[in-house]
A = this chain, B = another copy of it.
Amino acid sequence: MSSQRKVFFVSDRTGITAEVLGHSLLTQFEGIAFKRTTLPFIDSVEKAQAVAQQLADFCLESETRPIVFSTMVDGAIRNALRQRNNALHLDFFEKFIDPLEQELGMMSSHTMGKSHAIDDNDEYKTRIDAVNFTMNSDDGASTKHYDEADVILVGVSRSGKTPTCLYLALHYGIKAANYPLVPEDFDSEKLPNRLQPYRQKLFGLTIHPERLQQIRRERKPDSRYAALDNCKFELAEAESLMRRERIPFLDTTHKSVEELASTIIHSAGLTRRLF
């Protein structure tokens, strides 16, 4: 007996902030299916009035009223959004701007579009450098730039290295390389030669064998590569290598890319270069 509720994320800018916090809150309510719509760039009273009308129409047609998560800097636009409709309005700015104004002893600028602006050249350069670095050293493609790496993720094929590296680069400006551990790396019973000079930068990823099998099957069905016993073998060897070499490692099976990136920064003591 699951019910359904309509949710709107409304913002004078991209709506990303409203989505992130709104999503976190909604995951606390299980058994309800939330149907989500994002309405970005609602940056004038007129546009807000149009959304308010849309909400009013929705209230008429539906048994339950919609829930609106918003981040509107301008009070007049925020008010316009609330006129003529009975939606539940939760604005994330409204609740927190007041105590911050008091605390900081100044008025907020009420300027739209500040949150993500990057006029700053350093910030741009940091991000693009990290992204380029990460793309150029993906999947062990090139190890010659490992000197520059902030971190080198190791793990068997399909253990989650690439998306985690990209997330580290895009969000935190961290130069993240990755090196896939392949069966040949296990023969010598020591750290692959190319990784030896960079021992301090290594961080491992592992995954449950059944999950790995499932992922590899989608890529290469009916292959030795995807067979469960081979997945088990590779993972056992990789984990034993990481334990022996004292490489810290993390199980990716039940973790999102955001959590992996954040945990690695925290555990490996990395310095984020972007905020």
Interface of A toward B, CB cutoff 8 Å: 5, 13-17, 19-21, 23-32, 36, 40-41, 67, 71, 73, 88, 90, 92-93, 95-97, 99-100, 103-104, 106, 108-111, 114-119, 121, 124-125, 127-128, 131-132, 135, 138, 162-163, 166-167, 170, 214-215, 218, 254-259, 262-263, 266, 275
Contacts and interface: CB of A to CB of B under 8 A. Distances in A.
Given A16-B262, A41-B263, A132-B162, 18 more contacts: A13-B259, A20-B20, A21-B21, A25-B96, A25-B100, A28-B111, A40-B266, A90-B99, A90-B100, A92-B96, A116-B256, A124-B215, A127-B257, A128-B163, A131-B162, A135-B138, A166-B166, A166-B170
Contacts of A117: 254-256, 259
Nearest to A218: B125
Nearest to A69: B96
19 contacts: A5-B104, A20-B21, A21-B21, A23-B275, A24-B71, A28-B110, A31-B106, A32-B106, A41-B263, A41-B266, A67-B103, A116-B256, A116-B258, A128-B163, A131-B163, A131-B166, A132-B162, A135-B135, A135-B162
Contacts of A215: 124-125, 128
A97 B93 CA distance: 16
Contacts of A17: 20-21, 24
A258 B5 CA distance: 27
A38 to B, nearest CB: 8
B119 A103 contact: no
